[in-house]
Structure 1
Amino acid sequence: MGEFVGDTLDQRYKEGKPYKDYNLDKQGEGMFWAAAVNPNRKDDPEASACDKPPFWVDNGTTPDEPLAVSPKILAEYAYDELPVPGTRIEMRPAETTKVNLPTWVWLDRTRFKKISVTASLPGTGLSATTTAEPVSLHIDPGTPDARTYPASGDCELNADGSIGAPYEQGKADDTPPCGVTYLRSSGSDGSYPLRATVTWKISWTSTTGEGGNLPEGTFGATEDVKVQEIQSVNR
């Protein structure tokens, strides 16, 4: 049995059926690809589905094998490694606000910006770059007794790539481009769970010219907002 297997391998890789002398004359032009099991998924039913013997692939090309690593698979791997920051919004007033007082909401541009990760297959010339860009912020004030800006609660990307606008002195009575006004107090010991969700657009490119979009990513977090009545003094 061992001799038969050895003869079969010699024919395949040494005697020109289909490779001659292990393609040594093509050193630097490509390499043999072989099946490998992902150690993190070795117990999956399909983990060993690729049982094809090692085959030659020229550098910079994608093999005609459905289970082989492709530029899109590299892009999806890079997607998993994107350093998307935790969803943390800026608010003014922060933490505690007043009934009927507009609260301004925005994203810190130094944290929420376009980010990219490149994944490559060493020695093959194949790589893919996946890019994430924040495109919108959705505000759910945590109570129906509130008014959001815009009314939909969806703050879209500005022309300069920012979302929302920082509060500036003297704008307390202005309508924020992105924000919320609470219409009722949250009580002396209560708060409203304001939910902020950032949507990221995901796209990819590769060394083969392939590319496109991947499913958008949505990441959210909750801020506890205390809302107090405005105290008035009667004389």
Structure 2
Amino acid sequence: MYTVKLLGRWLLAGATATALALIPSTAVADKSRGNGSQGNVKTNAKRDGRTLTSLISYSGGKRGTSGKSSKSFTPTGNWAPPACWYEPRSPAEFQKYVEGFYESTVNYPGQHSYAKTAVGQFRDMYKDGEYKNYNLDKADEGAFWVAVQDKDRWDQPDAWTCSELPFWVEKGDTPTVKNSVTPEVLAQLAYNQVEVPETEVSLAPANNTKVNLPTWAWLDEATFKPVSVTASLNTAGLNLQSTVTATPDSLRIKPGTKDAQLHPDSGECTIQTGHIGAPYTKGNANKTPPCGLTYLRSTGNGTYQLQATLTWKVTWTGTGTPGGTLPDGTFGTTQNITVQEIQAINR
């Protein structure tokens, strides 16, 4: 084994052509998000002859946040979007990549001869070996499919599971390898681009309440609206698109102490007629809120850490398919709450 330093990154590769399956994975996906409106598209493709980045473009991601800061939510369970996948490249695109990759490797100052030999074997496979001259004369008949990684997760084990060498797929055929781009895989990648507003719950009383006084909790309807992201791939004869939509579904409250009564008892406030919870109105101070809590003990000189977690239901649709559902996403924040004893004056 040896270490190849290439294009500013360290890659681990073997001395045989088979081990070179890891080398094309220098192609990474730029995870930059769109600029916030569903209609604007940002393409993350860059092709400079040395590297191939993902040609998938994303649009949307922040619609409905009303200027609030937004963050990525967390999938429920152990599910995660693919850390690597396969995308098509035309013969000309693939030739440019391989030749550029070869030139960058053999001309890198101090590069080990083993590395040059290994990359040369990789090049020969597509130029003069199994394939002839990168199948340039078959450009209308198919495309090469190459491994691409999520650049933010390249150091995770899952990012190295796409170890197939670039392979040829005839036009109209569907690759059989796991994580080759399909509408569903596009939807999973779009899921990873969704940003939702921070879950700051409106409270009444706000941040400073009294023992045994009901605290009302609700979410701002103008802020918490469905958010959509569309992922598109149009290259080498493949034109696919998928849209994921995240919709706020329920709010779970944890008071930060056992000395509290939740409303409802489960602590989970579901969406009702388009909103979660109800804003406090004058005259309802002693009524039980549809969403909220009542603290039973003061915080003394400290505070309680009230945690509010919003669950988002996620659905998707794609080219030629009605789509389906993806795992729920959750995003939570913590707020400091001071609870005081009600003071009474004896006369």
Q: Give the TM-score range, shorter chain.
A: 0.7 to 0.9
* C-alpha distance in structure 2 between counterparts of 1:43 and 1:84, whole Å: 25
Q: Give the greater-gyration-radius structure (CA).
A: 1
> 1:94 corresponds to which residue?
206
Matched, 1:9 2:131: yes
Q: Which amino acid aligns with 1:131?
A: T
**Aligned to 2:146, what secondary structure does the other structure show?**
coil
Shift of 1:43: 8.0
Q: Which runs of 5+ in 2 are unaligned?
A: 1-120
Alignment of 1:1-235 (within 5 A): 6=128, 9-10=131-132, 13=135, 21-24=137-140, 32-38=143-149, 40=151, 41=154, 46=160, 49-58=163-172, 62-123=174-235, 124-159=238-273, 161-187=274-300, 189-235=301-347
Report the TM-score, using the length of structure 1 for normalisation. Answer: 0.82
Q: Which runs of 5+ in 1 are unaligned?
A: 15-20
Shift of 1:210: 4.9
Root-mean-square deviation (Å): 2.7
The structure-2 alpha-carbon separation of the partners of 1:49 and 1:148, relative to structure 1 and needing over 3 Å to count, comes to same
- What are the superposed Cα offsets for residues 36-74 of structure 1, whole Å, 9 maximum, x if unpaired? 33272288573551224232334xx85444341121221
* C-alpha distance in structure 1 between counterparts of 2:189 and 2:220, whole Å: 27
* C-alpha distance in structure 2 between counterparts of 1:5 and 1:43, whole Å: 32
- What are the superposed Cα offsets for residues 107-152 of structure 1, whole Å, 9 maximum, x if unpaired? 1112211111010112322111111111111111111111110011
- Mean Cα displacement is larger for which, 81-90 or 48-57? 48-57
* C-alpha distance in structure 2 between counterparts of 1:3 and 1:169, whole Å: 77
* C-alpha distance in structure 1 between counterparts of 2:161 and 2:249, whole Å: 36
Q: Which amino acid aligns with 1:35?
A: V
Report the identity percentage.
45
Q: Which amino acid aligns with 2:138?
A: Y
The structure-2 alpha-carbon separation of the partners of 1:145 and 1:118, relative to structure 1 and needing over 3 Å to count, comes to same
**Aligned to 2:190, what secondary structure does the other structure show?**
helix
**8 Å CA contact 2:212, 2:294 repeated in 1:** yes
**8 Å CA contact 1:196, 1:222 repeated in 2:** yes
* C-alpha distance in structure 2 between counterparts of 1:178 and 1:4, whole Å: 63
* C-alpha distance in structure 2 between counterparts of 1:55 and 1:38, whole Å: 20
Report the TM-score, using the length of structure 2 for normalisation. Answer: 0.57
* C-alpha distance in structure 1 between counterparts of 2:182 and 2:252, whole Å: 35
